[in-house]
Amino acid sequence: MAAPVNIIVGTHVWVEDPELAWIGGEVFKISGEDVHVQTTDGKTVVTNISKVFPKDTEAPPGGVDDMTKLSYLHEPGVLHNLAARYELNEIYTYTGNILIAINPFQRLPHLYDTHMMEQYKGAAFGELSPHVFAIAEVAYRAMINEGKSNSILVSGESGAGKTETTKMLMRYLAYLGGRSGVEGRTVEQQVLESNPVLEAFGNAKTVRNNNSSRFGKFVEIQFDKNGRISGAAVRTYLLERSRVCQISDPERNYHCFYLLCAAPPEVREKYKLENPKTFHYLNQSNCYALDGVDDAQEYLATRRAMDIVGISEEEQEAIFRVVAAILHLGNIEFAKGVDVDSSVLKDEKSRFHLNMTAELLRCDAKTLEDALIKRVMVTPEEIITRTLDPVAAVGSRDAFAKTIYSRLFDWLVDKINFSIGQDPNSKTLIGVLDIYGFESFKFNSFEQFCINFTNEKLQQHFNQHVFKMEQEEYTKEEINWSYIEFVDNQDVLDLIEKKPGGIIALLDEACMFPKSTHETFAQKLYQTFKNNKRFIKPKLSRTNFTISHYAGEVVYLADLFLDKNKDYVVAEHQDLLTASKCPFVAALFPPSPEESSKSSKFSSIGTRFKQQLQALMETLSSTEPHYIRCVKPNNVLKPAIFENANIIQQLRCGGVLEAIRISCAGYPTRRTFYEFLHRFGVLAPEVLDGNYDDKVACQMILDKMGLKGYQIGKAKVFLRAGQMAELDARRAEVLGNAARTIQRQIRTYIARKEFLAFRKAAIVLQSHWRGILACKLYEQLRREAAALKIQTNFRLYIARESYLTLRLSAITLQTGLRAMTARNEFRFRKQTKAAIIVQAYLRCHIAYSYYKSLQKAAIITQCGWRRRVARRELRKLKMAARETGALKEAKDKLEKRVEELTWRLQLEKRLRTDLEEEKAQEIAKLQDALHAMQMQVEEANARVIKEQEAAQKAIEEAPPIIKETPVIVQDTEKVDRLTAEVESLKASQLSERQVAEEARKACTDAEARNSALVKKLEDAERKVDQLQESVQRLEEKLSNSESEIQVLRQQALTISPTGKSTRHRPMFIPRTTENGNVINGETKITSDTTLAIANAREPESEEKPQKSLNEKQQENQDLLIKCISQNLGFFGGKPVAACVIYKCLLHWRSFEVERTSVFDRIIQTIASAVEVQDNNDVLVYWLSNSSTLLLLLQHTLKASGAASLTPQRRRTASASLFGRMSQGLRGSPQSATISFLNGRGLSRLEDLRQVEAKYPALLFKQQLTAFLEKIYGMIRDNLKKEISPLLGLCIQAPRTSRASLVKGRSQAKANAVAQQALIAHWQSIVKSLNSYLNIMKANYVPPFLVRKVFTQIFSFINVQLFNSLLLRRECCSFSNGEYVKAGLAELEQWCCEATQEYAGTAWDELKHIRQAVGFLVIHQKPKKTLNEITKELCPVLSIQQLYRISTMYWDDKYGTHTVSSEIISSMRVMMTEDSNNAVSSSFLLDDDSSIPFTVDDISKSMPQVEIADIEPPQLIRENSGFGFLLPRSE
C-alpha cells in the first residue's frame, strides 16, 4: 500500500490521525518530501509524502458494496467505506468474495426474514446487496453444481457476532436443504437446538462479551445427492479448562454453575447448593449475574434443550450432579499436616464439602481424600506412597476438577452428535467454522498462544485462498501475473509447531522433566530462537517472550505454560472415578486399555491441539472455503458507534488488510472498459470520437498517458498501485482546462447576446417603416381586386343560366331511355330464375340417389372392418388374462405392508395404554401410602389421648397423703401399727409418682412419634409433588409418542386413503363435577390427582335429597355446555350464546358461591372451540360472544371483601394466567336450593343489579378476558399471515416489469401490463381485508374491536413496507415509488368504502410509507430545502430515515438526482447530535403486537346489550329447568 508520488497541490488525501486513525484533507503546500494538509476539522498537518494516500472525491456517499470497486484500495479507503455503510446500517460489505460483517448491536428484523431468504435463493453472487445469505447461497450452489464440499469460516474477536452469524448461516442452509416436518425434528433443527446446551457448558462472560464461546466449533452439515440435509456433526476445539478453577474480575465461570445455583429450591437442597458467593470457583470474581438474564429461567430452558437433543432424565440428573460436585470440590481446603510436606483437610467445612463431593460422585469419601493429598509411586523394588503439601494438594484438586469438567463437555458433544446422527452415505458437506479470533490482552497465557496459533494457520489458508482468487481473476481475464509476490507466514508457523525445535515441542519436552520450571522453559526459548526475527526477548522480564504475528506483536507470560499444557489424568483420580457407583461418572473415566507402571502418563494439550488443528486444516483444504470476518465496531456494545482505531486493529487481526496487501501486490485497481472510458475518456476525446473497440480505446488512452506495467484483460483494465492516482491527476488537469474553455465560451456568449439585442432593436424599427409602405400598396391592390370580382360574378351568372337549361333537357331524355332498359332487364331475370329452379331440383335428385348408394357401400365396409378389429381385441384380452398373476402378487405385497403398519399402530396404542396404567398404579400406590400415614397419625393421636387420660385418672385415684399430728402415745402397739400404715402409704405414693412419671414419658414419646409422622406426612406430600412433576413429564413424553403415532398414521394414510386423521389433544384437561365431593356438608380440597383417586374410594354418604338436587343441577349444566358448544347464531344483532350463559349464571347465583365447576367447563368449551387457529369463522364467532359476555360481567360483578381474602390455589404447572386456567378450580357441585329472581325480567345493563362476586367468578372474568385477548390476537395474526407474502410482492415490481419501464414511452403497453400485475397484488390485500370485514360484520363483532384490528393491520402494513423500503436500495427508486403510491390508493379507497365506523384511523397508520413514497415521486429534489423536507413533505420521518432514503434514492425513469449535498451534510450533522444526546439511531419501525385495549375500554365503547327478549335455543327451550330463559310478558 505504498503511497503514490504524484501528489500535487489541491489533491484530496488521507492523513494519519491519533484519534480517528485516518482523516481527510486537502494538500495546500508541498516542500520536498513534506506535504502540508488542511484537514476537514480545520487543523494543519505536516507529514511525509509517503504517509498520505489519495482520496476519491467521486466515491458515492453511501460507499460501495464491494471494496474491490474502490478507486483507491488502501487502508483509509477501506475504513471510510465501512464507516459510510455502517452509518446506513449496511452491516455487510464484500472484499472480493470475503464478507465483512460489522455487529450492529441492535435488531434488524427484516434483514433475516423468510422474504429476504427468498430474494437470495438462486441469486448470483454480487447481484444483490452483500449478505450472509449470499455466502451460504454460493457455498450451497457450488456444492450442488460441482459436487464438492464447501466450508464457511466465521472469525472475529469476542463480541463481534460470530455465533449469531453462524446461526443465520444454519437457518439459510436449513431453508435451502431442510426436510419437511412430518419426519419429526429435522437435522438442522437439532443442530440449532443443541446451541443452548453447548452455550450453557462452553460459554462464559468475559470482559468483552457476556456470552463468549470459550471453545472453537466446526459444524459439518451433510447433504444427500438431492441437496437435502441428511446428517450433521459438531466438532469442538480447545475448551478453556483453566476457567473452571481460575477466573478474574469482572468475568464469570461457565454459565452452567450459575444456572444450577439458581435452580428450584428442591434441586438446590438435593445438591446442598447455596449462593454462588459461597463457592471458591465462583467468588474469585464479583460478577455473579448478567444484565437482562434470569439464571432460573435459563436453567429451565437448558433442561428443556437437553430433553430436545435426546439427553434422558437420568443423564441430566447425573450431569448436574457432576457440576455440583465440582463446586463442592473447589471448597475443599488443605492445611499443613504433622509430617513434613504433608497436608490434611483444613476444617469441618472442608470435610463437609469432601463428603458431599463423594456423595455426588458416588465414590468413597476416604478414597477421594487420599486421591487428593497422596500419590503412589511404583518402583521395581516397592510401592511408595507419599503425601502432598497443601499447595500441591490444591493443584491436585484443581486438576481433578478440570479433568472432570473437560470429560463432561466431551461427553455432551458426543451425545449431541449421536442424537443428531450422521449420514454415512453423504458425499458432500458444508462446514461452518465458528472459531475464536486473534487475541492480544494485557496478560496473555497458554490459551491465547493456542488461539493465535490457530489464527496463524487459518491466516495462511486465507492468504493462499485470496492469492488463488487473484490468480483466478487474472487467469479469467488472460493477463500476465507471474511476477506477483505472495505474502506467507510459514516462518511463524515453523517457530510454533516445527518438530523438533518448535515452541510446542520444547514445551512438551519441558513438561516431561519433573524439575523443569517456567524459568528454565523461557531460557530454553531464548537460547533456541535468539536469531529468529519473529521471536523477541523482552528486556525487563526473565519469563516473558514476544512473537511477531501477522496481526502484530503479542507478549506471552510463560509462568503457567507448563501447568496448562499437561493433560495427563492422575492414576488415583482415574481409579477413583472408574470405581464410581454412578454409571454416568464411571463412563466418563473408562479404564485405561494399557496398564502403566508409572503413577501418571504424560499427555500434552499443545500436541493434541496441534493434531486437532491439523485435522481441521485437512478438512478445510478438502473443501472450497468461504470467509466471513465479523467486526465489533466498539467496546461499549452500543449501536451507531464506529471506533476507527478499533476497526483497523480488527481488520488487521482478521487478515482483511493482509488480503488488501495481496491485491496491492498485483493490480489493486480494476475497472471495466465502460467504467474506464466513462471516467478517463476525457483524456483522449479523439479516441471516443473514433469508431474503436472498447479494449482498443482503453489501450490508446493508457498509451497516450505513457503508463507502464498495466494489464488489459478480456473485460477489465488492471492498473498497478499509484496509476489510478496518476490518471486522476491528469484527468483533473484536463477538466481544469475544459473549465477555462467553458468560461471563455460563456463570456463570448454574453457579448454575442448584447449584440443580438442591438440588432433586434434595429430590425424592429425597419419593420415599422416597411409596414407603412405596405399599407399604402395594399389599399391600391384592394381596389383593383374589387373591380375584378364584380366582373367575374356577372359573367358567372350568364353562364350558369345557359347551363341549367341544357342540363334539364338532357335529364328528360335520359329518364325515358333508362325506363325502357329496366323493363327489358326485368323480363330476362324472371325467365332465368325459373330455369335455375328446374335445374336445381333435377340435380338434387341425381345427387341424393348417388349418396344413398354410396352410404350403403360404406356401411357394409365398416361392418367388415369392425368385425376384424373386434377379433384382434379379443386375442389381446385373452393374452392379458394370463398376466393377472403378477398383478395379484403386487396386490398381496401392498396388503402385507398395510398389515405391518396396522400392527405397528396397534403396538404404539398398547404401549401408550401400558404407560397410562403404570402411571395410574404409581399414583394409587402413593395415595395408599399417604392414606396409611394419615391413619397412623390418627392412631398415634388416639393412643396419646388415652394414655394421658389413664395417667390423669391414676393420679386422681391415688389416696391423699396423710399428715402426721402430734398425739400423746398411750399405746405402743397402736403407735407401731400407725407407723407401719404411714410407711405403706409413703410407698404407695412413691409408686404412684413413678406411674405418673412413666405416663409423662409415654406422652413425650407419643409427641415425638407424632412429630415424626408429621414429618413423614410432609415427605409424602413432597413425593406427591414430585410425582405430579413426573406425571407432567410423562404427559410430555406421551405427547411425543402421539406425534410419532401421527407420523405412522400419515404413512398408513398414504396407502389407505380412506383413513381419517386424529384430532390433536385439547388445550385444557377435561374436568368434571367430581373435582370436589360434599361429605357431611364440608368440602374437601386437595390436588386434582389425589381427588381423582380418593373420590373413587370414598363411600357415597350424601343424603338422597341433596344428591338429587346436585344431579339436577349437574344435568342443567351439562345441557348448557352441550348447547353453547354449538353455533347458536345471533338474535337481533346480539350473540345468543353469551346472553344464555349470562342469564343462567345469574339465575343459578354462580357468581356468589365459593366453589363451582361451571366456570371451568365454560372456559374449556371456549378453549376447545378456538383450538383450530385457522378457522376464522369460529374465532370471530367467539370473539363476538366473549366480548358481549365480558361486557355483561363488567357491569354486574363487583369484588367482595371475602373474595379478596380467599387464599390462592396451589399451582404446580404454571404461574401464568393460562396456567391457572389449565389447572381450573376445585369445588363442589352447586346447591340447587336457589331462589328465582322473583319473577323479575332483565332488560338493559342499567337494570342489572351489582353482585358480590366470589373468587371463582372473579377468576372466570380474568380467564374470559385472557381468552378475548387471545382470540383477538389470533384473528389479527391470521390476517397478518395472509397478507404478509403479498406485501413482499407489493414493495417492488418484478424485474421484468422494471426493465420494461426503464426503456421509455415505447414500452407503454408493457408498462400497463406490469402495473396491472402489481395492482393485482394490492387488490388481493383488499380482498383479504374485505373478507375479514364481512366475517366480523356477519358475526356482529363490536365496531370498536373491528377498528382496533384494522388499525393494527394497517400499522403492520406500514412497518413492513417502510422497513423493506429502507433496507433495499432497489426499492428506493422513482418508478417503484409510483408503484407503491398506486397501491396505497387502493387501500385508501378501501378505507372510504369500509366507512369510519369500521376503518377508524387505519389510514393514518400508513403515514410513514405515504410520506416516504411521496418523497420518492416528487420532482426537483435538489431544489428542496431541509426545512421543506422535514416540516412539509415528511414531518413524521426522523432524520435517520430521511438520510437513508436520500442516500439510497436513484431514478431509474428520468435520471434525476437526490437532494443536494448540503442537505445530506446537514442531515449527517443532525444525526451526530442525536447520537450524542442518546437519541435512538435506529431508523426501522417496530411492529406493535400488543393488545390495544382493556376491559374498561370495551365497557365504555360497546353499546348496551338488552338480554330480556333473547329467544332461547331449541335444545333448552323445552326443558323445565330453563324456564326462566323464556321471555315474560309485562
Active site residues: 158-159, 163, 209, 212-213, 437, 439
Angle between helices 673-680 and 694-705 (to 10 degrees): 50
Q: Residue 1381 contacts by C-beta under 8 Å, 6 or more apart in sequence?
A: 1413, 1414, 1417
Omega prior to 109 cis, within 30 of 0: no
Distance CA 100, CA 8 (A): 34
Q: Residue 506 contacts by C-beta under 8 Å, 6 or more apart in sequence?
A: 521, 524, 525, 528
| C-alpha dist (Å) from residue 400 to 351, 579, 1028 | 17, 15, 38
Q: Residue 691 contacts by C-beta under 8 Å, 6 or more apart in sequence?
A: none
Distance CA 1392, CA 1402 (A): 11
669-672 and 716-719 strand pairing: antiparallel
- In angstroms and rounded to an integer, the radius of gyration of the C-alpha atoms of the chain is 48
DSSP 763-780: HHHHHHHHHHHHHHHHHH
As a whole number of Å, the end-to-end CA separation of the chain is 100
**Strand runs (DSSP E) across 612-677, as ranges?**
624-631, 669-672
DSSP 50-68: GG-EE--TTS-TT--SBGG
Q: What are phi and psi of 194, to 5 degrees?
A: -75, -15
| C-alpha dist (Å) from residue 1217 to 124, 1214, 1220 | 50, 8, 5
Contact 76, 53 (CB under 8 A): yes
**Strand runs (DSSP E) across 1154-1250, as ranges?**
1197-1199
Distance CA 1330, CA 1405 (A): 18
Distance CA 481, CA 76 (A): 26
Contact 1115, 1256 (CB under 8 A): no
- For 1194, half-sphere exposure in the C-beta direction (CA atoms, 13 angstrom radius) is 19
- For 423, half-sphere exposure in the C-beta direction (CA atoms, 13 angstrom radius) is 18
Distance CA 679, CA 886 (A): 77
Distance CA 85, CA 105 (A): 15
Distance CA 342, CA 803 (A): 157
Distance CA 1129, CA 1136 (A): 6
Distance CA 1157, CA 1376 (A): 60
Contact 726, 4 (CB under 8 A): yes
Contact 561, 446 (CB under 8 A): yes
Count other Cβ atoms within 10 Å, centred on residue 1474.
16
DSSP 454-488: HHHHHHHHHHHHHHHHHHHHHHHHT---TT-----
Q: Which three cell numbers stand for residue 971?
A: 399405746
Q: Residue 1190 contacts by C-beta under 8 Å, 6 or more apart in sequence?
A: 1261, 1264, 1265, 1268, 1495, 1498
Q: Distance between alpha carbon 894 and the CA centroid of its chain, in Å?
A: 44
Distance CA 419, CA 315 (A): 14
- Nearest CA among 886, 891, 889, 908 for reference residue 1051: 908
Q: Which three cell numbers stand for residue 912?
A: 401408550
